[in-house]
Amino acid sequence: MKKQSIIIISILLLAVVNTFSQNMTGDRILGIWLNEDKDAKVEIYKSGNQYFGKLIWGKEMYEADGKTSRKDVENKDPKLRSRNLKDLIMLSGFAYHDDVWDGGEIYDPRNGSTYSCTLKLKGSKLDIRGYIGISLFGKTTVWEHIQ
């Protein structure tokens, strides 16, 4: 009986350590990323077990006064066009497993479209694949980790 208890406790402990390790590995994506065009910075953060990214800087994010955030005027939903671009959530709902963050979406404020998306870390670069339907018919952009 003691042997079975030790085996069960060992299995449970291994599962907890594995889950913790998986979460820590997934957190490698956290931080500030510069987009491929070098005209926007996105902060990737974690909420619960999911990963999100918000726009924290952009070359054309502010009105001429340099202080007033521009609005999400290209959004397909008229109710959302009054949202500020500053701190706009661009990446949402990603889960990490097997060296891929997937199950999420990327929003492009330039055209107001939302795409299914996968994220893959390659050193200090992040491959972002946005697509409609299947990944084969998508586009990849590469972001650089800057902080």
What CATH number does residue 137 fall under? 2.40.128.520
Question: Does 43 fall in a domain?
Answer: yes
Residue 134 confidence (pLDDT) above 60: yes
Which positions ≥6 away from 140 have C-beta within 8 Å? 127, 128, 129, 130
Alpha carbon distance 34, 142 (integer Å): 9
Predicted confidence at residue 22, as pLDDT, reads 40
Question: Does 72 fall in a domain?
Answer: yes
Residue of 62, 66, 40 lying closest to 53 (CA atoms) = 40
Overall domain count for the chain = 1
Alpha carbon distance 93, 114 (integer Å): 13
Question: Does 14 fall in a domain?
Answer: no
Predicted confidence at residue 6, as pLDDT, reads 52
Alpha carbon distance 61, 138 (integer Å): 26
pLDDT band at 56 (very low <50, low <70, confident <90, very high): very high
Question: Does 20 fall in a domain?
Answer: no
Residue of 113, 115, 144 lying closest to 127 (CA atoms) = 144
Question: Does 10 fall in a domain?
Answer: no
Question: Does 58 fall in a domain?
Answer: yes
Alpha carbon distance 117, 57 (integer Å): 21
Domain limits for position 94: 29-145
Question: Does 2 fall in a domain?
Answer: no
Residue 142 confidence (pLDDT) above 50: yes
Residue 141 confidence (pLDDT) above 50: yes
